[in-house]
Amino acid sequence: MAAVAPVTRTVSEHIDEAGRAGLTALQQRTWFLAAAGKFFEGMIVFLVGVATPLIAAEYSLSTAQIGLVTAMPLLGILIGASALGGLADKVGRRPLFLWEMALLTACLVGVSFSDSLPIFLLFLLGTGMALGADYPVAHLMISETLPTKIRGRRVLGAFGFQAVGAVAGTGVGMLVLSQREELSDWRIMFALVIIPAFVVTIARIFTPQSPHWLASKGRYDEAESVLARLCFGDHPAGDLRITREVPVVDMVKGDRERSQSSLKTLFKRPLRRATILTSVPWFLQDLGTYGIGIFTPIVIATTLGTDTTGLEDTVSGVIASDLQGAEGAFVIDTFLLVGLAVALILVNRVGRIRLQVFGFIGCGVGLAIAASSVFFENPTFAIFAGFMIFNFSTNLGPNTMTYVLAGEVFPTRVRGKGAGFAASMGKVGAVLTAFLFPTLLDVWGQGVLLTVLVATSVLGAVITWKFRIDTVGKSLEHVDTGAVIKVLTTETEPRPA
């Protein structure tokens, strides 16, 4: 490759210019390793849904304890995203990117070989913490190493591996259940994830630090070295010099370094708008996504009414019911992939905001159809149709777009903190619904519970549109200067007469 004369540009401009020739092997590998984290999240969370009946039978769990099992990994994600995600702004993206996966691998070993309920719950919590830290960090590793033009699609594609993992997790559960009839089969389900998690951990050792983060810390020489390797791989093409004086607007009043370490930064103008846009819809979306996702096997098994006459309290009866629920969930969960495929096509054409609004509305329609099943003598069709529409719509819009937006609308100095806070707010909703869903299902009934989730979907659409910020085609330097938020605010405020 011909030598490139030294040209001073911003980090994004260098990446965008080099990206015209295609992505390097290092960029592709970084993307894949980030996507792997989302795969494990989808797989593990949905495995919990399949494994819960077996765990409940082995430990003789009450309804409240079942809620605790399903909520524990989500509580871990909440803690990991809020407590660990912000570390990416302090120590850099790469260290957290590596150690979170090492923690995940270790905790999966603990889950698989735990010999008591408290130990199992502890390691399940640790598993969730590792997955929670991955929420903001994986996004940043992608968005800060890839060209602006493909950033949205690639972030969305990586997050889509959550859906691939969900289908794979349900499939693994089906496979194990069909081969054996032991209550301990749930241990095998989790153990099967250990080896691929370990492989990804080793591979992440060789990922680069974010050049955006290095430049934001004034470590320009290191940033230029990483940038050259990122953009040209093993074939250096001359010096890549980064603009030393990036016109960064102080986003809030007061000392920037002090405010960086405070969560209050996210609630001051103009970052308040971005914080509301990313956190509130994510909270509302996770109320439905995790409640429906985790308990789909149980709802399906209950709706179909597996014929286990005389076997209800036996291992065979539990396995038969769980297997039928998993098979039904597998069919429904494939619509997550369909929604993702459509979102990948439309994310830059329609935009993040419109897709999130349309998706929320579609979720409401699907849940309304499922809720109407209580009025039918044979509710199977309404349940399946409603959940299919819901899964398609959630990955078309809110489940994917909340993740994309959270890593784009905050400036580099607080991007990890902002994305981590948004993810943690989402998991507050997930924990609530996972813990309360079994109890509310018994007390309220399926129809009332789903109707409440219809209302939260509509509210999500309204808030998304009111606090919208469009990031399509905007470089990360646009965000650092506050241009994205300022332009949007000007356009949406009433014009003086």
Given a cut of 90, whether residue 466 has pLDDT beyond it is yes
Q: For the chain, give the percent of residues with pLDDT over 70.
A: 82
Structure tokens at 61: 């769990």
User: How much is the average pLDDT of 110-117?
Assistant: 93
Mean pLDDT of the chain: 82
Q: What is the C-alpha to C-alpha distance for residues 60 and 183, in angstroms, rounded to an integer?
A: 11
Closest CA to 281 of 455, 105, 459: 459
Q: State how far Cα 195 lies from the chain centre.
A: 22
Instruction: Give the H or E element holding residue 84.
Output: none
Given a cut of 90, whether residue 95 has pLDDT beyond it is yes
Residues contacting 375, CB < 8 A, separation 6+? none
User: How much is the average pLDDT of 316-338?
Assistant: 65
Condensed to tens digits (0 to 9), the pLDDT of residues 43-91 reads 998 888 788 888 988 888 888 888 888 888 888 988 888 787 778 888 8
Given a cut of 90, whether residue 482 has pLDDT beyond it is no
Given a cut of 90, whether residue 415 has pLDDT beyond it is no
Q: Which band of pLDDT confidence, cut at 50, 70 and 90, is reported for residue 162?
A: confident
Given a cut of 90, whether residue 99 has pLDDT beyond it is yes
Instruction: Find out whether the peptide bond into 270 is cis, omega within 30 degrees of 0.
Output: yes
Q: Which band of pLDDT confidence, cut at 50, 70 and 90, is reported for residue 198?
A: very high
Closest CA to 9 of 155, 212, 217: 212
Q: Which band of pLDDT confidence, cut at 50, 70 and 90, is reported for residue 455?
A: very high
Looking at residue 377, the DSSP 8-state letter turns out to be S
pLDDT for res 1: 45
Q: What is the reported pTM?
A: 0.74
Condensed to tens digits (0 to 9), the pLDDT of residues 211-257 reads 989 988 889 899 888 988 898 876 655 677 888 754 444 444 444 44
Q: Which band of pLDDT confidence, cut at 50, 70 and 90, is reported for residue 326?
A: low
Local structure of 379: helix, strand or coil: coil
Given a cut of 50, whether residue 150 has pLDDT beyond it is yes
Exposed/middle/buried for residue 363 (C-beta within 10 Å: 0-12, 13-18, 19+): buried
pLDDT for res 308: 40
User: How much is the average pLDDT of 372-397?
Assistant: 86
Instruction: Of 131-135, 246-250, 359-363, 379-383, give the lowest mean pLDDT range.
Output: 246-250
User: How much is the average pLDDT of 439-451?
Assistant: 82
| Residue whose token pair is 């301990």 | 184
Given a cut of 70, whether residue 304 has pLDDT beyond it is no
Structure tokens at 395: 């990955």
Condensed to tens digits (0 to 9), the pLDDT of residues 341-356 reads 999 999 888 989 999 9
pLDDT for res 5: 55
Which has more pLDDT, 30 or 373? 30
pLDDT for res 335: 84
